[in-house]
Structure 1
Amino acid sequence: MTHHKRPLAMARPTRRAFIGTTAAVAGLASVGTLAGLKPARAQTRGGTIRVAKGHGNTNDSLDPATWTNGFTVALAFGMHGFLTKVATDGSLDPDVAESWEASSDAKSWRFKIRPGMTFHSGKPVTLDDVIASVNYHRGENSTSVAKPLVAAIVDIKKDGEDTVVFDLETGSADFPFVFTDYHMAICPADDSGSIDWRSGDGCGSYRLTNFDPGVVAEFERFQDDWNQERGWFDAVEMLSIVDLNARTTALVSGEVDAIDKLDLKTVALLGRNAGVKIHSIAGPQYYSFAARADTAPLDDVNVRLALKHAINREELVEKILFGHGTVGNDQPIGPSYRFHNPDYEQTPYDPDKAKYYLQQAGLDGLTVKLSAADAAFPGAVDAAVLYQNAAGAAGIKIDVNRVPNDGYWSDVWLKHPFCAVYWGGRPTADQIFTTAYESGAAWNDSKWSNARFDELLVAARAELDEAKRREMYYEMQQIVSQDGGTVLPMFANFVFATNDKIVQGEFASNFDMDGERWMERWSFA
């Protein structure tokens, strides 16, 4: 093995330089910077930030295997440590792991764990905690939605006092990015070898002091955090306010300092309020309609193609996103991804082509029920109505089933045959494909399965030749676009608002609200 360690003062490697070549992977190591990109203004400690999130359910839990929405993602990144994390520029930063290295075939990875770290309870962070936290998502009995991400791990073992070794079934050039997933929190190991998640004991920059699911989570700064260049607030109050009007009013009235999931129809008006700042960040987020490919008539690829030609994507970008986004092409690897194919032909709105595919399916027309709520994404119900109107010209009758916001992610998503969905994206193509499109994945919301896609997914993950890997991801994008069960009409910018008291640096684009790491990155002026 080779190991090239760089001093902290040196510039962070770009993501392309980090995983771009076989040579880089062979000696892959990272140290990164401690605080990410510096803000435009100096940061000072103090104050309580209050943030209203358009997410949160009464059945939310502290169990990392179950986190599904922006409220629990922000909670995870605020209170927990992770082996690695996505930096503001999309590269990889250290956290609980201070460095890592790979074997020449990227099948064995060594992570050196940061010394002297403690949980909020005062308990030291040990190798056993790291191993138990990763194993929690592995194995036949695991119900974690992160299970596919760690499926390639065949063995985890200690090496000395400070190193964890992961042996993989096949090579994985992007393996360190797996641990940036918000489910992969490092929790204390319990006596059974599992993890203690119920206590809320973490090793992140904030300690959880109160958690009322679907209502509020409260935190206080962890004074003994290993990184004193983050966690600037004394305290954090994160409110679940799913109602858009209530959330917006709370910002304008000064009751909260930031909100997400804005009403894009009125975002320009909101920005005219004194002290309100609008932020629109392009990234991997997409809004889609998941069609269950295991349920008739959606199990016919011709029906799915008809639905894809029956949606007016440009109209949705204009009337739902109001320009805060771009047209999608029924697959998730958009322009923000390294392996995006910019030359793949766009599926157009074409009612005649949709009729043709219905004929190929032996149908004269089609009636489908589409479930939607604005909990899925802002304007989801309006988007479903626009889809209904456009599809009518193709002889497709879409019955819009408006369902309640509360319980949408537990009662509708993954259960109704055709429903509105948003995905925040993932830092790599492998991660979003593995989480949402691999056969049998818990969050494969179209229940789609394709043997060639699954074969390429494993091969691309292990391929260290950049050009060959790109070819594989290009083919996978085409397979998902043409065969998959996801109607993906648009990539949506992350649009959120803060008051002018907030100080921040360059916003991360890998997830909403600064990669949902606003707790540790932002401060008051």
Structure 2
Amino acid sequence: MNRKTLVLPAVVGLLAPVLAACGATDGGSDGSAAIVVGTTDQFVATEDNPAPLDPAIGYEAGVWNVLRQTVQTLTHIPRGGGAPVPEAARSCIFTDRQNESYRCRLRSGLTFADGSPVTAEDVKYSINRVIGIKSDNGPVGLLANIDTIETRGDDEVVFHLKTPDATFPYKLATPAAGIVPRSEYPADSPREGFQVDGSGPYTMKPEIVDHQVSKIVFTKNPKYKGDLRVVNDKVELDLFPDAAAMGKALDDQKIDMMTRTMSPEQAQQMLEKPKSGIKLTEMPGLAISYLGFDTTDPAVKDKAVRQAVAQVIDRGQIAGQVYGTTAEPLYSLIPSSITGHTNSFYNTYGEPSARKAAAILRDAGIDTPVKFTLHYTTDHYGPATGAEFKTLAKQLNATGLFDVTTQGTPWAKYRPAQRRGDYAVYGLGWFPDFPDPDNYTAPFLDKNNFLNSPYTSKVAQDTLIPQSRREADRAAASKTFQKLQDIVATDVPVLPIWQGKQYVASRDDLTGVEWAVNSSADLQLWELGRNAG
């Protein structure tokens, strides 16, 4: 999802393509036609969430992938990764050594797609409305450290922060800080429906069926001024109910590329048996999967129960048998490819052991079997989620220490229920807002956290998180992040399971595929083009 001097290392080799097939294709259309991209993301307007695509409300990877095409931000992460660079801004810089005051100057002649000017007051308005609306499900936590926003003329905006935060330029690169027109977005309430307006590289037009998006047409914005190079005129984002339907559309040449979320079986099949005219591109992935615990629920309130779960689960079996080549075991909230990672859970628990788990429960005076339900969402993270949770339940029940059942729920109902505290144990995934270790710790441990978790670590909130944000050199914060990871391994408010790889399948006349999805799973449609040959 960071300061004057930060330069993060490029993420593990960066987007090295693995081509599963190559050569001429008889598919696709001429270069003037829209490029069609498939996804299994679903955008539904409900009573709980009537404004799923409002930047103040939407805080999911799929939603952000729509917003990034249409709503401009002051900074953005460059194609090769690393420190944020100006986007709607022509320059941004910390103006003090403490990383508490950040100034941006807007590009000259910047306008919204309707031709109205973008000013510093629009930037201030857009960010203040996210903070003011303060949606329970929204991204307000990313902006919570802003104290005041000052404008100087039409083109200069200064952010004064409550505490030092070297990651702030990264947060300004997220759709949470997207610049929206005041005429379309009310100051104190969400914009209902599915229309998105901004000054980004595309305009958008959604097609709606039964309060649900079926397609979004992105058209190149002729008034766009920014740092991105748009190499196509139009892209259609087609929404599919599942990976199988999306894969069939690719085979039938109805789409040019399929992204979120291919199934592990699809990726494995394409690796082993390449199809003519289709290529498979492997990209580094920073997404993680984890269990969350309601630490006030009687079933898992005692830390010993959560520790026993951590002692039993076999991550290698889940990654290998359920996800194959698309996932690997994860022993920390921070993935292995991010600076500051340490295998805290493995260091604490070692190999899976029912004997050690039994001792943990016995020493804490916990009666066995411990009974609870593993909750998961049926339609948000891909078709393998159900198999993953059945495997988890089987592992726990096989010890005789647990009596676990599983329950799947559609995302539209699942996420509100999770935030209400309806689930003792639940599964979620995390796609980073920006590639920094702070974004794998603060969203789970800080005040007003993403999970709405009742768990509190005062040392994490009051000392370690603020301390880590003072370091402009992120490698220098590694010891602080190690302490945070060790706290998670000891208290187990969340339990990391695996980190994923990303695969994108496309027609082989499509160009720019290796750049169209970055390591944070951000969709960058402006990179896509066609090979005229």
* TM-score scaled by length of structure 2: 0.84
Instruction: Determine the C-alpha separation between the residues in 2 that align with 1:505 and 1:99.
Output: 29
Structure 2, unaligned runs of 5 or more: 20-29, 46-50
The equivalent of 2:394 in structure 1 is 389
Residue deviations 1:19-70 (CA, integer Å, cap 9, x gap): xxxxxxxxxxxxxxxxx99xx9xxx974312122111132262311221433
The equivalent of 1:289 in structure 2 is 291
The equivalent of 2:340 in structure 1 is 339
- Among residues 438, 454, 464, which one is paired with 2:461 in the alignment? 454
- Among residues 47, 57, 81, which one is paired with 2:43 in the alignment? 57
1:249 equivalent to 2:248? Answer yes
The equivalent of 1:309 in structure 2 is 311
Give 1:505 deviation, angstroms: 6.4
Report the secondary structure of 2:175's partner residue: coil
- Among residues 496, 521, 525, which one is paired with 2:527 in the alignment? 521
Give 1:75 deviation, angstroms: 0.7
Which segment is superposed worse, 112-121 or 357-366?
357-366
1:493 equivalent to 2:493? Answer no
Q: Is contact 2:133–2:190 with CA below 8 Å preserved after alignment?
A: no
- Among residues 414, 419, 431, which one is paired with 1:424 in the alignment? 431
Q: Is contact 2:101–2:159 with CA below 8 Å preserved after alignment?
A: yes
Q: Is contact 2:73–2:87 with CA below 8 Å preserved after alignment?
A: yes
Q: Is contact 2:105–2:156 with CA below 8 Å preserved after alignment?
A: yes
Report the secondary structure of 2:323's partner residue: coil
- Among residues 333, 351, 356, which one is paired with 1:353 in the alignment? 356
Instruction: Determine the C-alpha separation between the residues in 1 that align with 2:477 and 2:72.
Output: 31
The equivalent of 2:25 in structure 1 is none
Residue deviations 1:474-514 (CA, integer Å, cap 9, x gap): 101111222132221110112232221221165354322xx
Matches within 5 A, 1:73-472: 73-91=64-82, 92-102=84-94, 103-139=96-132, 143=136, 145-190=138-183, 197=191, 200-212=196-208, 213-227=212-226, 230-259=229-258, 260-271=260-271, 272-329=274-331, 331-341=332-342, 345-346=346-347, 347=349, 348-359=351-362, 360-378=364-382, 379-394=384-399, 395-404=401-410, 407-411=413-417, 415-426=422-433, 427-441=435-449, 443-444=450-451, 446-455=453-462, 456-464=464-472, 469-472=477-480
Instruction: Determine the C-alpha separation between the residues in 2 that align with 1:322 and 1:332.
Output: 21
Q: Is contact 1:448–1:484 with CA below 8 Å preserved after alignment?
A: no
Instruction: Determine the C-alpha separation between the residues in 2 that align with 1:467 and 1:270.
Output: 38
Instruction: Determine the C-alpha separation between the residues in 1 that align with 2:336 and 2:418.
Output: 29
Which segment is superposed worse, 407-416 or 297-306?
407-416
Report the secondary structure of 2:159's partner residue: strand
1:118/1:211 CA distance change after superposition, 3 Å: farther
Structure 1, unaligned runs of 5 or more: 6-12, 18-35
1:124/1:143 CA distance change after superposition, 3 Å: farther
Match for 1:511: what amino acid?
A: S
Give 1:182 deviation, angstroms: 2.8
Q: Is contact 2:142–2:176 with CA below 8 Å preserved after alignment?
A: no
1:436/1:214 CA distance change after superposition, 3 Å: farther
Instruction: Determine the C-alpha separation between the residues in 2 that align with 1:384 and 1:192.
Output: 41
Give 1:176 deviation, angstroms: 0.3
1:70 equivalent to 2:61? Answer yes
1:484/1:186 CA distance change after superposition, 3 Å: farther
Give 1:117 deviation, angstroms: 1.3
Give 1:125 deviation, angstroms: 0.8
Give 1:405 deviation, angstroms: 6.0
1:511 equivalent to 2:515? Answer no
Q: Is contact 2:127–2:177 with CA below 8 Å preserved after alignment?
A: yes
Match for 2:302: what amino acid?
A: D
Q: Is contact 1:85–1:177 with CA below 8 Å preserved after alignment?
A: yes
Give 1:407 deviation, angstroms: 4.4
Give 1:126 deviation, angstroms: 0.7
Q: Is contact 1:217–1:237 with CA below 8 Å preserved after alignment?
A: yes
Q: Is contact 1:45–1:234 with CA below 8 Å preserved after alignment?
A: no
Give 1:465 deviation, angstroms: 6.5
Match for 2:527: what amino acid?
A: R
Residue deviations 1:435-460 (CA, integer Å, cap 9, x gap): 2332332x226543211111211222
Q: Is contact 1:107–1:171 with CA below 8 Å preserved after alignment?
A: yes
The equivalent of 2:24 in structure 1 is none
Instruction: Determine the C-alpha separation between the residues in 1 that align with 2:323 and 2:238.
Output: 25
Q: Is contact 1:187–1:197 with CA below 8 Å preserved after alignment?
A: no
The equivalent of 1:21 in structure 2 is none
Instruction: Determine the C-alpha separation between the residues in 1 that align with 2:175 and 2:329.
Output: 27
Instruction: Determine the C-alpha separation between the residues in 2 that align with 1:154 and 1:406.
Output: 33
Instruction: Determine the C-alpha separation between the residues in 2 that align with 1:97 and 1:483.
Output: 42
Residue deviations 1:127-155 (CA, integer Å, cap 9, x gap): 11100111122248555622222121111
1:231/1:211 CA distance change after superposition, 3 Å: farther
Instruction: Determine the C-alpha separation between the residues in 1 that align with 2:361 and 2:4.
Output: 57
Which segment is superposed worse, 270-279 or 114-123?
270-279
1:410/1:250 CA distance change after superposition, 3 Å: farther
Report the secondary structure of 2:356's partner residue: helix
Match for 1:69: what amino acid?
A: E
Match for 1:49: what amino acid?
A: I
Aligned residues, how many? 488
Q: Is contact 1:214–1:240 with CA below 8 Å preserved after alignment?
A: yes
The equivalent of 1:10 in structure 2 is none
* TM-score scaled by length of structure 1: 0.85
1:48/1:390 CA distance change after superposition, 3 Å: same
Which segment is superposed worse, 198-207 or 47-56?
198-207
Which segment is superposed worse, 361-370 or 381-390?
361-370
Q: Is contact 1:310–1:387 with CA below 8 Å preserved after alignment?
A: no
Match for 1:94: what amino acid?
A: P
Q: Is contact 2:56–2:133 with CA below 8 Å preserved after alignment?
A: no
Report the secondary structure of 1:510's partner residue: coil
Instruction: Determine the C-alpha separation between the residues in 2 that align with 1:398 and 1:429.
Output: 32
Q: Is contact 1:58–1:215 with CA below 8 Å preserved after alignment?
A: no
Report the secondary structure of 2:324's partner residue: coil
1:476 equivalent to 2:472? Answer no
1:45/1:245 CA distance change after superposition, 3 Å: closer
Which segment is superposed worse, 459-468 or 56-65?
459-468
The equivalent of 2:22 in structure 1 is none
Instruction: Determine the C-alpha separation between the residues in 1 that align with 2:4 and 2:474.
Output: 21
